[in-house]
């Protein structure tokens, strides 16, 4: 187990659907003293219906995600463990707006945007965000491999639109550091060198804004 002190107290691991963000978060938590915050996406009762009928169920699915993320992050980050200086989450709160912008119609998004900024007002930014970047083809392969029935209708065009929404957000983000890790050939679960290269990034201080990382 790693015990070193990192210059960050709150790290978010992000990525598109099927990128491996939750797997990486769990492995980080298993190898260093930290509090793990995992999104409870399976608790969203509207999610299976959304993938069947996106136009009808987009608004309730996004509202549910937003309120649950806000409640979970506030509870977990405010009630910090005195013996654990590091919190690792497999999402960050603005993810809510990224997906909503992609999934909602114009009028729904206007209302959603107002509600988001009300809830965001008391939410802390991560000290560091790591975005795992994989191509839509690779994401689709991972989605098929893990076999969640309600995800099997996802196609490459949807994954590409989500990816573009993330990159649009990152292009204007200047409040905290964002590391975009090129992970097409990265195997941080079974390749110890790849995993250690990611951990080594935690010992470096990055400026706010986007930094691109390639691990070979």
All domains in the chain, ordered by first residue: 10-214 (3.40.50.300)
**Residue partners of 190: CB distance under 8 A and separation at least 6:** none
Give me the helices (H) in the chain, please: 21-31, 47-52, 54-78, 95-103, 106-120, 136-146, 156-171, 192-201
Average pLDDT of the segment spanning 146-169: 92
pLDDT in tens, 46-91: 999 998 999 999 999 999 999 999 999 988 887 766 567 899 999 9
Strand partners, 133: 182
Average pLDDT of the segment spanning 169-194: 94
If you compute the radius of gyration of the chain from its CA atoms, what whole number of angstroms results? 17
Higher per-residue pLDDT: 122 or 208: 208
- Say how far apart CA 7 and CA 16 lie, in whole Å: 26
- Distance, CA of 80 to chain centre: 20
Tokens of 4: 């070193």
pTM: 0.91
pLDDT in tens, 5-18: 678 999 999 999 99
């Amino acid at each position: 187990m790693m015990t070193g002190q990192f210059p960050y107290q709150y790290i978010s691991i992000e990525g598109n659907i099927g990128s491996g963000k939750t797997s990486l978060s769990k492995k980080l938590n298993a190898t260093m003293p930290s509090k793990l915050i995992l999104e409870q996406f399976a608790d969203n009762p509207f999610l299976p219906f959304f993938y069947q009928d996106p136009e009808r169920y987009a608004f309730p699915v996004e509202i549910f995600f937003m309120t649950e993320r806000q409640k979970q992050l506030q509870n977990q980050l405010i009630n910090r463990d005195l013996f654990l200086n590091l919190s690792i989450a497999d999402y960050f709160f603005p993810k809510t707006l990224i997906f909503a912008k992609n999934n909602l119609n114009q009028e729904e998004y206007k209302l959603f945007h107002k509600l988001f900024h009300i809830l965001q007002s008391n939410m802390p930014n991560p000290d560091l965000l790591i975005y795992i970047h994989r191509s839509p083809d690779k994401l689709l392969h991972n989605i098929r491999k893990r076999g969640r029935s309600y995800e099997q209708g996802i196609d490459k065009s949807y994954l590409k639109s989500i990816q573009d929404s993330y990159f649009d957000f990152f292009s204007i983000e200047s409040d905290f550091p964002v590391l975009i890790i090129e992970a097409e050939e990265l195997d941080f679960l079974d390749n110890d060198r790849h995993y250690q290269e990611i951990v080594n990034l935690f010992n470096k201080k990055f400026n706010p804004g986007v930094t691109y990382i390639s691990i070979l």
